[in-house]
Chains A and B, each alone.
Chain A
Amino acid sequence: MKTLTLSAFALALTLPSLPALGSDMPQDDTRRKDALTLWGVQFEELEYRYSDDDEELGVWNGDAFYGTDELKFRWLTKGEYAIEEQAYEKLENQLLLQTPVSDFFDAKAGVRFDTPEGPDRTYGVLGLTGLAPHWFEVDASLYVSDEGDTSAEFDAEYELLFTNHLILSAALDATVAFSEDREIGVGKGLVSTEAGLRLSYDLIDRSFSPYLGVVHERKYGDTADFAEAEGGGTEDWFAVIGARVSF
């Protein structure tokens, strides 16, 4: 018995380059050795809007993802549905791949499909999304449409904690066009802004947080002129009621 041990020991010494315990060592092929693959669904906005000139809208802004730390597939969806007209004023879907480029930022690339009432557009998307210093969640995207028009969108959000459950969030979204796309009513320059303040309460964990808020939408420059020419408004105030949902 002892000699056997000794000779095995000697063998191990003479063959140091081999894994000393032979090839029967388990290889870690468990799930622990795989990158964590996760999914999630979030609706930052899921709300009913009532404007100062009695317009009623159903609005959502959400996303779903699937993937790992290194690569995520993300579907972003945004829409505004005019309840009385029974028409989508805005219907935007983006399919994106997202990968980290710094500690706090991801780069994203993909396509965007706009299919509201009226002419459709398809865009190529390049963007950055992440957490800026001082806890601003920011998202910047560059779009090139199938018509060859380029535009950019910038989003920022900040949360103020009145308590650990009662949260005021401020959001600002601005769009700039580098060229005119008359057919969809976009003029060159600053196109539009949307600013919102929402006071939410985390009712069920962070998965269901009803809120009340106000939203201000404004169109600028040529875009505003185009809207007016078509009999639309250039500025709207909305009272909103809705919920943030995530699961």
Chain B
Amino acid sequence: MKKALMAGALGFLMPAMAAAGEYNITVDRVMIDTGDFVKEGIGYNGASPGPVLRFKEGETVTINVTNNLDEPTSIHWHGLILPFEQDGVPGISFDGIPAGETFTYEFPIVQSGTYWFHSHSGFQEPNGAYGAIVIEPEGREPFRYDREYVVQLTDKHPHDANRVMRNLKMMPDYYNRQQQTVGDFFADISKHGFMTTLQDRLAWGDMRMMKADVEDVQGFTGLINGKGPEQNWTGLFEPGERIRLRFINSSAMAYFDIRIPGLEMTVVQADGNNVQPVTVDEFRIGVAETYDVIVRPKTAEAYTIFAESMGRSGYARATLAPEKGMEGPVPGLREAPLLTMADMSGMHGMDHGDTTGADASAGMDHSDMNQGEMAPDGMKDDAVMAADASDSMTGMDHSGMDHGTMIMSEGGASDPFYAEGSGLVPVAANGGKFLSYADLRAQKPLYEEREPTREIELRLTGNMERYTWSINGVKYEDAEPLKLQYGERVRFKFVNETMMTHPMHLHGMWSILDVGAGEWNPVKHVISVQPGTTVYMETEVDAPGQWAFHCHLSYHAASGMFRKVVVEGGPDQGNTARAEVAKDGGDA
């Protein structure tokens, strides 16, 4: 804190010393070629994704954004701590950038790490308006690497985003091609018996819910750095090097499960903040999250970066190789997960009859199952592996479990951030370690630990059939702003009452995810809340002004899961960003 004050004072005394980077960005109509289809979209400096902006902690950046579109635009600097007028949300931070005009953003860089930027106007972001931000720290990184690559993912859809929204509103299952069929019914009968299967279907039919509602919008092509699976973006390396991969999920809707068969990944940063290193075989990246990992390929072979969507309806693929043109084997997609009653347990007012998710899942204790032990040893082929892993699950003795009439999906491992018995719990393809939120620990506490001043409950609500999404049952159009007082430490309680996963993003302030580690809780900008779960985060309310707060799934935000947050009190913003440097510098 003291050091921070000094730094702040230094900033006052020697403003001339502050480095100032100037950047120019144009917002343009571009063509996006995914290898599967070519689609007109929106990009930056003539391309989608836009450029990788490289900032340095401590500098003040000036970014001139010229809007070459025939509609208003905006750029939001996702995850950056800055004065609210610079946050780039039309109607909340500023008025937006009219067609043909240039807006100059100017703000101090008070943090380091991997972030991204995107349009906050209409559906420009799903249509291609996004890019990456890399911020070099003032001091040294607490980990070593020899080279680094940005790995920016997205889920490019052949339909224009407005059309996707309209189709979802007309038919919420418009894009869902993983629904259970007559064939699945008979397959379940042979597996679980007629009565169990029938009762299972009746239970779901009674709720008018679909087990297959994992991904709203299927039919996309996964892109990495703008390249489709066939176009195969390739990053070069020399064997033995440590490579830092800066994963950014810029998708409109898709969560990705990422693995690099043959390589372990050491996660060193989450959402731009250093975490205590944790080595994993696979991790899930929520929409708008970033994870930095370090990999160390020792042999001169090609490694596939494989990012399967959570619902297994699509994938992105890239390659790490010693030479251009080399390719590693590309695994097949694993079987699509299905929701279970446990994922529905957050829904109130629903009569689950005797198939209550909570009861049935309480009978299941998967917590001491070791996934590693369940997968046969010596297996290398991922596709075969995945099949085997699920076979070994089905082969398990379920007789002691009280399933009621439930048909559990295979997998069903335990993770504190998923409902017990959830069908969405990820399992590493090679049977190894899958990153959980519970594994994340801050490298260094960003804030002094203190008691929250109050708790705010935010129920994540919605109606899949109408494709309406809301917070506490109220859509953005009908909602009052959420009011916070400057200086508070607010504890947010997220209760997911829907059957979908929601990546909740608070602008302007950090979200301290409660993983039960006290001051070592990781600091994020997106908190993913799984169906049927309750998740807590705390926020030091240290940024005056108006901020956006929303689900980062584009079509959920657009159909109502969005709020304005007003931070009342605090130093006057009019006193320039300089004051912000001192304050925020103190925290960072």
Contact = CB atoms under 8 A, between A and B. Distances in A.
5 contacts: A11-B572, A19-B566, A20-B568, A30-B121, A164-B181
B206 A162 contact: no
A183 to B, nearest CB: 38
Contacts of B468: 69
Given A16-B569, A131-B208, A164-B179, A26 B93 contact: yes
A131 B172 CA distance: 12
Nearest to A132: B208
B91 A26 contact: yes
Contacts of A69: 466, 468, 475
A20 B476 contact: no
A86 interface: no
A131 B91 contact: no
B298 interface: no
Interface in A80-125: 100, 103-104
Contact of B569 (A12, A42, A103, A205): A12
A32 to B, nearest CB: 7
Contact of B92 (A28, A39, A103): A28
Contacts of A30: 90-91, 96, 121
A163 B486 CA distance: 55
Given A5-B571, A9-B570, A19-B568, A27 B208 contact: no
B579 interface: yes
B102 interface: no
B174 A205 contact: yes
A100 B466 contact: yes
A182 interface: no
A25 interface: yes
B174 A161 contact: no
Interface in A145-162: 160-162
Interface string A1-30: 110110011011100100111100111111
Given A20-B570, A164-B181, A40 B169 contact: yes
Top 4 nearest A-B pairs by Cβ distance? A8-B572, A28-B91, A134-B205, A30-B91
B570 A32 contact: no
B184 to A, nearest CB: 9
Contacts of B562: 32
Contacts of B475: 35, 69
A40 B174 contact: no
A147 to B, nearest CB: 36
Contacts of B569: 12-13, 16, 20
B352 interface: no
Contacts of A229: none
A12 B94 contact: no
Interface string B159-200: 000000111011100100111111100000000000000000
Nearest to A133: B206
B463 interface: yes
Contacts of B571: 5, 8-9, 12
B166 A163 contact: no
Contact of A133 (B94, B208, B573): B208
Nearest to B74: A30
Contact of B181 (A1, A32, A163): A163
Given A26-B94, A28-B564, A206-B171, A8 B575 contact: yes
A246 B574 CA distance: 52
A213 to B, nearest CB: 17
Contacts of A42: 170
A26 to B, nearest CB: 6
Interface string B437-469: 000000000000000000000000001011010
Contacts of A33: 91, 476-477
Contacts of B166: 38-40
A246 B163 CA distance: 12
B463 A103 contact: yes
A162 B185 CA distance: 10
Contacts of A22: 574
Given A12-B569, A36-B169, 8 more contacts: A20-B569, A25-B545, A32-B562, A38-B169, A38-B170, A104-B465, A134-B205, A163-B181
A31 B122 contact: yes
B182 A16 contact: no
B430 interface: no
B202 interface: yes
A205 B166 CA distance: 14
A213 B178 CA distance: 25
A34 interface: yes
Interface in B450-503: 463, 465-466, 468, 475-477, 486
Contact of A32 (B91, B95, B208): B91
Contacts of B206: 133-134
B559 interface: yes
Given A11-B572, A20-B570, A104 B208 contact: yes
A16 B568 contact: yes
A37 B52 CA distance: 36
Contact of B202 (A134, A163, A165): A134
Contacts of A135: 205, 208
A8 B166 CA distance: 47
Contacts of B574: 8, 21-22
A36 B568 contact: no
A39 B162 CA distance: 11
A26 B120 CA distance: 15
A36 B122 CA distance: 11
Interface in B478-537: 486
B272 to A, nearest CB: 26
Contacts of A131: 208, 465
A160 B578 CA distance: 64
B539 interface: no
B558 interface: yes
B331 to A, nearest CB: 23
A161 B177 CA distance: 10
